[in-house]
Structure 1
Amino acid sequence: MKALINKLHIAIIALILSHTAAEAQVVKWDSTYRPGKYVELVAKFKADPKSKKDFVFLGNSITAGTDWAKLLELPQAKNRGISGDITFGVLERLQDVIDGKPAKIFILIGINDISRNIPDSVILGNYKTMISRIRKGSKNTHIYFNTLLPVNSAFEKFKKHYGKDAHILWLNNEIRKFTAKNVTIIDLYPNFIDQNKQLRAELTKDGLHLLPEGYQVWADFLKKSGYLTEK
């Protein structure tokens, strides 16, 4: 009997230790993170006049890094990128975009979520929520959902964004499956990869953000594919 009790104690201890180890392996993530200038920029965006002819470019620093109206020669192009933003931040400020009922919304978001260890399934769920809310709140708005860009670890600057290519590929594959009405997928990724499946070095200044040459590749692709002129 005593031997049986000892074995039971050992089994319970082993179970506790294994559970503790499993908990230690769970990566923590935070949906409440917002960049330092988030509140300031959201207020600025809200104050900006809106038109049903607007083309809204919505995302993080990669979107924020150019003057879309000048780049595309489209005065109605509005930059709604916030450096460091994540999908939860976009969802928090999405209603202001929806209320403007723009003609088009171009979305590129998610690489910062990946760097912050937000699970792929959660990111994907947020993508679908964005689409659902826009379609419900602004029925005539055409949604253009971009696949994520690759990164280039050779620059060794944004290390939290590197080594997570599998997450980028998985999310891109899921984005390509979106088929809802008024939703078009813009597959940017193939236009930016080199032979090693990394962001082309000549298009980036730090392995994550784009140089003017990178934005030109983006703009040329949008024009060539007819995304700026289709109804």
Structure 2
Amino acid sequence: MKTFINRIVVFLSLILVLASGYANAQVVKWDSTYRPNKYAEIVAKFKEDPKSKKDIVFLGNSITAGTDWAKLLNLPQAKNRGISGDITFGVLERLQDVIDGKPSKIFILIGINDVSRNIPDSVILHNYQTIIQRIRAGSKRTKIYFNTLLPVNASFNKFKNHYGKDEHILWLNSEIRKLQAKNVTIIDLYPHFLDQDNHLKAELTKDGLHLIPAGYQVWSTLLQNGGYLK
């Protein structure tokens, strides 16, 4: 009888160990402190750049950084504040410098790298709200424009951490659209970049994530036709 009981105890202990391991496997780790390698260097350059209340700031990651906005839009006052690889926490860390310049407009596109790094959607949304609150508090006359996230295209097989997470993009975009209630102008980029399979159009990207000039031209046309630059 004692031997039988011992076997039961061992068996139950094994189940607990396996269950504990399974539970731990479900905990996805994420890091709010991640910053791209050249983050500090680029931020320092941004701080040195003269500022004007007429500035139109484009704030985000590599998708924002990938074009010359002043040239693309024929707007000398357009300032590119995109940093490749940046996440919402990185934007929050460098946001005060943008706010201090009290620009006329800020266009924001950020979050796809958060998704790729498994930062929870609720945390990303909270950071969106904090970005808006801080701009509103520090530069009341600045007009805020928030872009929905772009789709991705896994067929390029280059940014695997960004692929297969469409449900996160869709959820965040649905929440971004609700930010309209906070006196923020929403620019819904997402549907304009979709192909028939709900992927980023292959003819607008070089790698399934970043845009080529044709992609930026679509973006530019949306901004101009939507009257967002006036």
TM value normalised by structure 1: 0.93
8 Å contact kept, 1:55–1:78: yes
Partner of 1:211: 212
The amino acid that maps onto 1:101 is: K
Deviations 1:21-61 (A, max 9, x none): 10122111111111111001000000001111111000000
| Structure 1 residue 61 corresponds to structure 2 residue 66 | no
What's the % identity of the aligned pairs?
Answer: 76
Matches of 2:213 and 2:31 in 1, distance apart? 32
State yes or no: 1:187 paired with 2:181.
no
1:166 and 2:167 matched: yes
CA distance in structure 2 between the partners assigned to 1:60 and 1:87 by the alignment: 9
- The 8 Å contact of residues 141 and 182 in structure 1, kept in 2 or not, is answered as no
SS in 2 for 1:96: helix
In angstroms, what is the RMSD of aligned CA positions?
Answer: 1.6
Which residue pairs with 2:78 in the alignment?
A: 77
What SS does the aligned partner of 1:89 have? helix
Using structure 2 for the length normalisation, give the TM-score.
0.94
Equivalence for 2:139: 138
The within-5 A match list for 1:27-106 is 27-106=28-107
Alpha-carbon contact 1:59-1:82 (below 8 Å) kept? yes
- Cα deviation code 1:182-231 (max 9, x no counterpart): 411100001100000001111111111101010000000001011111xx
Alpha-carbon shift at residue 119 of structure 1 (Å): 1.0
Q: What amino acid is the match of 1:42?
A: V
Q: Which runs of 5+ in 2 are unaligned?
A: none
1:201 is matched with which residue? 202
Cα shift at 1:180? 4.2
Amino acid at match of 2:66: G
Equivalent-residue separation in structure 2 for 1:125 and 1:155 (angstroms): 31
Residue 7 of structure 1 deviates from its aligned partner by: 5.5
Question: What amino acid maps onto 1:154 in structure 2?
Answer: S
